[in-house]
Chains A and B, each alone.
Chain A
């Protein structure tokens, strides 16, 4: 099914073999532009959270994870589970760039009958698990990691969690199991943007101190700036942080990162920029990309 809509023209050609830190920064800027075009074109999206986790996805898919469209069905691939399923647009932008499906497919995002919907599903090439209900991803990631240990495989499992969803008790059930089975092939990354739909995570239901909480649950924890690709590379390339322990990356991010008027503003949890906002946002991102040229 093809619906004529604005051409997305997402990605200038680039060589993605072993990107440098600067290449990754440029990639992030390109992804942000692609993301905003996508959200503008389809008229919906979890804009703020997409922007906060894009650098994490960028580093995972372009530097850290051993997975590609060619190896996606291999039993030895690294797995990625996106527990914060509502940020599907960010994942789709990255998967398209990696060649899991043609970029033009995303013109159908959220359209009637499209397999590209507002959450990740296995109908989309590159997606490992259907998510959308919060607090589900970590347990599934634990199961995959446990199977890897049983079968003596060296794949890793990366799970991206939102901070707001940590109020779901199922995360902590899964966390206990991860530590109990010493799953050091599991890497949970918390997109710690500090905001959820109602407002600050600390006002809604205090989460801090997350590092101490996860440490007490048996994780080896490292903090980093989750919008700094250099820091992300250093942290994510050093997993496991401690042999015999699951790793947890507490990635401090900014919701709406990269667009000044969206940054740290709860109302951009989901929302589509109007024409003027879109123009301003794209202008900022173009300038950011140009500065990296």
Chain B
């Protein structure tokens, strides 16, 4: 069986490869090189890593300045801090000033599940979706992570990339191409669609496999790019399957689900529709897996959501 890694590890390895090809590529960290698995990067390319200490606003501001002077910068920090504490720096210094910096939110969502709300990032899609000029990407597995890092390094504008720290299984895919803004088809089906992103694609796929045993064929799409959304893939899924379940490691407010709902409603496309994510409540704690199960973001939970949705007429 092929070895699996955390997306984080794939990110670090991909970045080192890119850094060897481009001496202007820099990584900026806020005492986060250990948690970002960048220790070996720091050893292999000590001249291409900049440490700013535990100062996330400074992390993004300095990254913007480095980019202004022609550097290709990846600014790395836990997603919870990066997208909250330095939100204004992302908005102004990166997006408004159009600096091609990739802000990398590590240990995103509830990866730090037992550490509580301070360490959860369930707001980041919503916050950043409302900011002009940023590409938002949550890769599902090792393949998408590697491709997303490579693609982000080529972008002429800012990006936000987020992933967790758990080992991620390789997902089957119907097409080996990867393009930012284009959904990846993980599984074909005509009875309903799971539109998932990031580390919820794997449980969506698990649900699809369970449902298949009952004769329900689900389409599974990895909408790795939350913005710009692959609108055509969402429309097509609604038209062809008639029932949609969006899944995200994020609040049900303002994320992938509402992006899809807004699109379909405004286009006059009617489908049975359910947003699965984190409710507006005090977030449960535990491991990422336990929290996912708590909110029904696991194979069994999502399969049940699908049965309930299909039972609606």
Contact = CB atoms under 8 A, between A and B. Distances in A.
B53 interface: yes
A8 interface: no
A120 B47 CA distance: 33
Contacts of A135: 57
A93 B97 CA distance: 22
Contacts of A30: none
Q: B interface, by DSSP: helix, strand, loop or mixed?
A: helix
Contact of A143 (B47, B68, B88): B68
B71 interface: yes
Interface stretch (A49-57, A124-132, A210-218, A272-280): A124-132
A143 B62 contact: yes
Contacts of B89: 136, 139, 170
A139 B68 contact: no
A75 interface: yes
Contacts of A136: 61, 88-89, 92-93
Interface residues of A, number: 32
B65 A146 contact: yes
Contact of B61 (A132, A139, A151, A176): A139
A61 B123 CA distance: 44
Interface string B35-75: 00000000000010010110101101111111111110000
B68 A170 contact: no
A174 B86 CA distance: 13
A141 B70 CA distance: 13
B97 A122 contact: yes
Contact of B70 (A132, A147, A180): A147
A173 interface: yes
Name the residue among A121, A129, A131, A145 with the largest chain B CB count within 10 angstroms: A129
A177 interface: yes
B83 to A, nearest CB: 16
A129 B64 contact: yes
A147 B93 contact: no
Given A130-B92, A130-B96, A177-B58, 18 more contacts: A121-B96, A122-B98, A132-B92, A136-B61, A139-B58, A139-B62, A139-B64, A142-B61, A143-B61, A143-B63, A143-B68, A144-B66, A144-B69, A147-B69, A147-B70, A147-B71, A148-B69, A173-B58
